[in-house]
Structure 1
Amino acid sequence: MIKGIFETHLNVTDLERSHHFYEQIIGLQHAYGQKDRGNSFYWIGGEGNAMFGLWQKDPSEVRRQHFAFQVSLENMKQAVTYLEDKGIKTRNFLDDDIGELYVFGWMPAVSVYFTDPDGHSLEFISMLPDKAKPELGMVPWSEWEKIHGRVKGDSG
């Protein structure tokens, strides 16, 4: 019955600041907003595919949350540069400061993490075209590509 997640919402402390971040920095398409009600909505993946909502709340009502945006593998290769060029600090899942993204072998998918102005944990993630290898656990993207006989492009 369930085909996917259509909509999710996030509480923020400053709607204008978050609107700027998600529309101008991250690049989401603004769909609708009601400043008097303290909300703003964005399309993800094009109009009518999925929706993301922001709601301005008192700081005591804003708790750190996590979610991931799906991006294409081609865009994933440029994700770190894209974010850092916009002044956003990135990290990998292990936050180990080695400067390389990791692959979750059980999926398999590669991702990069960053935060929004309220400290919410955000992620860009891309599924890889390979067969899952859960026995590998988490491995650096370059190692995953070597295992699969490919030379990986710049992952940041």
Structure 2
Amino acid sequence: MVPPPLRGILETAVYVNDLEKAHAFYAGVIGLERMVTGDRLFAYDAGLGETLLVFARGQTAEDTETPGGVIPGHHSEGPAHFAFKIAPEDVEPWRAHLEGSGVAIRSTVIWPAGGTSLYVDDPDGNVVEFAAPALWPNFQE
């Protein structure tokens, strides 16, 4: 049986020890708009129809009851990874912006398909990638 088609990734999540330090990075340095503020998570607009969830580590392991149903508990130990999509012409401006904001570039990778990725750490050691196409065979402009 063939599964129905996927429409992309709606949410990506990272877990942090300090929501305010994370906010200083994701809003202050990266420029994401915070859409939801809570005791255990912040949600950021990460592009058209895409959301970055930043959870307070240790605050989401138990199920959470809401008026609409139960959200199953989840958590993560150690650093996570995710990538922001950027345009090829924005690789060097992003490099300059990050370095100018005091964020060290951990690594730069030139991919066989021609794309470039910049890797940095957020305040909790999560690996944040800024990826310009093409990295994967399914890339479409």
TM-score band by shorter chain is 0.7 to 0.9
- 3-state SS of paired residue (2:21): helix
1:65 aligns with 2:80: yes
Aligned equivalent of 1:85: 100
The counterpart of 2:14, out of the listed 3, 10, 16, is 10
**Residue in 2 that maps onto 1:31:** 35
Match of 2:110 in 1: 103
Higher helix proportion:
1
Partner residue, 1:44: 46
Q: Give the TM-score normalised by structure 1.
A: 0.67
C-alpha contact (below 8 Å) 2:106/2:121 kept by paired residues: no
Normalization by structure 2: what TM-score? Answer: 0.74
Deviating beyond 6 angstroms after TM superposition, the runs of 4 or more aligned structure 1 residues are: none
The amino acid across from 2:110 in the alignment is V
Q: Quick one: structure 1 residues 61 and 70, their matched pair in 2 at CA, closer, same or farther if it must change by over 3 Å?
A: closer
| Equivalent residues, number | 116
What is the RMSD of the two structures over their aligned residues, measured on CA atoms? 2.1
Give how far 1:43 is off.
0.7
Q: Give unmatched runs, 5+ long, in structure 2.
A: 59-74
Shift of residue 103 of structure 1?
1.6
Asked if the contact 1:25/1:86 (under 8 Å) is kept, the reply is yes
1:122 correspondence with 2:124: no
Partner SS for 2:23: helix
Confirm or deny: 8 A CA contact 1:114 1:121 kept in the other structure. Answer: yes
| Residue equivalent to 2:90 | 75
Q: Which residue in the other structure is 2:53 paired with?
A: 53
Is contact 1:7-1:50 (8 Å) kept?
yes
- Once residues 34 and 19 of structure 1 are traced to their aligned partners in structure 2, the CA distance between those partners, rounded to angstroms, is 12
**What is the match of residue 64 of structure 2?**
none
Q: CA deviation at 1:3?
A: 2.0
Equivalent-residue separation in structure 2 for 1:114 and 1:9 (angstroms):
16
Partner SS state of residue 83, structure 2? strand
The answer as to whether partners of 1:13 and 1:62 remain within 8 angstroms in 2 is: no
Residue 113 (structure 1) aligns with:
119
